[in-house]
Chain A
């Protein structure tokens, strides 16, 4: 019980370190609003871990400030208007760089922890 807790915390910490890149990744194919982004991340993690909404709101703000994402209000006629986020060309460039860095890091950590074989097994799960 205690062991799963600490491994969960470890995974959540790792995820949180990549919040900005993860958000950029969800926006690559189309514009989304906050709840869609939250849901996309929740589904990708299988509901096991989640990135807190507070973290996400801070990430949106930071991404907009850095010009990596643009925000605009949708034109929904029913109910409240939604704030959509669109990835910019700068955002795409940063996303690509971060993915490259992550792939390199993953290789190093895998070789340090001796887990190279596990990754291919994991994908067949």
Chain B
């Protein structure tokens, strides 16, 4: 229980001397709630509050070793007592991964983790894409035919259903594939994504067909319902989606983030870049106007392209330029 203060005192003692970074504080709070639950459990079993707290903290083992394993540097050297309880291998393994990955080039990493797409999946996806494109064109043509009373109203519906099924298949099958960067999505979720996109396309296409064929408003309402149902389903899936990226790819994006942008580190450079950008595009605008009114408006893309090229060079130079131009060096 939270009125048992011994456990909090013991936890503070266990963390004494550990540098309190936000991460360590986070770990301490996590351990605290778990300890309180364990103490409650022991107290229900008949232990006195003080005994329960003492036992729960003892079971935890050496806190300093846990912290040392997870955040090396928080504990002063030699302060972590090697305790029989602590599984050193597991703690070391946590950081071993990262160090090894850092020494490998991005290309080597990607080659080692490469997952080839399955031939069957690729073949069927190409086929489905053709079906999708064909049914989209077919829907519009059939709807136009209905408008001229040349075909029955069922034809656009048939094409729309085919298009929705093809899109659904492509979406679902693609999400369920393992790729070089991503793990496959569980089949159930992938199927829901497929259903969502199929409903959206079905509603939108049928609405177009019904508008072209001037169908009764009740049908349009039904199309809208399918569209909304699809959007709601996709919104639900988007908010509940979780990470699918493989650890090596996550690690790589972390490294890219570390390389950083100079504009993040040096606000003055970012401000200079902003001013240069405004000047550059003002000049480019003027040049476009001058060229357009003298040499003719067909020549306008030339100054626009030059302006764009200079802008990209400016960005490359100022944000990712060689380290020697950095003011900090």
- Report which A residues bind B (CB closer than 8 A): 16, 19, 33-35, 38, 52-55, 57-59, 61-62, 65-68, 70, 78-83, 86-94
In whole angstroms, how far apart are the Cα atoms of A78 and B184 in the complex? 39
In whole angstroms, how far apart are the Cα atoms of A82 and B184 in the complex? 30
A-B CB contact pairs (8 Å), 9 listed: A16-B87, A57-B30, A58-B66, A58-B87, A81-B33, A82-B34, A88-B242, A89-B243, A93-B183
Interface size class of B (residues with CB under 8 A): 35 or more
Question: Which of the 9-residue segments B54-62, B116-124, B198-206, B300-308 touches chain A?
Answer: B54-62
In whole angstroms, how far apart are the Cα atoms of A55 and B62 in the complex? 11
Q: A79-B2, A83-B33 are in contact. Are A90 and B243 (CB under 8 A)?
A: yes
Q: Is the CB of A58 within 8 A of B244?
A: no
In whole angstroms, how far apart are the Cα atoms of A82 and B29 in the complex? 8
Q: Is the CB of B242 within 8 A of A58?
A: no
Q: Which residues of A sit under 8 angstroms from B59, Cβ to Cβ? A: 53
- Report which B residues bind A (CB closer than 8 A): 2, 26-27, 29-34, 36-38, 59-62, 65-66, 69-70, 85-87, 90-91, 93-94, 97-98, 178, 182-186, 189, 241-247, 250
Q: Which residues of B sit under 8 angstroms from A88, Cβ to Cβ? A: 242-244
In the assembled complex, how far is the CB of residue B188 from the closest CB belonging to chain A, in whole angstroms?
Answer: 10
**Contacts A19-B90, A58-B66, A66-B250 known; 7 new A-B pairs at CB < 8 A:** A53-B59, A55-B87, A65-B94, A67-B245, A90-B244, A90-B245, A92-B183
In whole angstroms, how far apart are the Cα atoms of A66 and B248 in the complex? 8
Q: Which residues of A sit under 8 angstroms from B182, Cβ to Cβ? A: 90
In whole angstroms, how far apart are the Cα atoms of A54 and B183 in the complex? 29
Q: Is the CB of B33 within 8 A of A89?
A: no
Q: A16-B87, A58-B94, A89-B189 are in contact. Are A53 and B34 (CB under 8 A)?
A: yes
In the assembled complex, how far is the CB of residue B236 from the closest CB belonging to chain A, in whole angstroms?
Answer: 15
Q: A68-B247, A81-B29, A89-B243 are in contact. Are A58 and B69 (CB under 8 A)?
A: yes
Who on chain B is nearest to A92 by CB? B186
Q: Is the CB of A89 within 8 A of B186?
A: yes
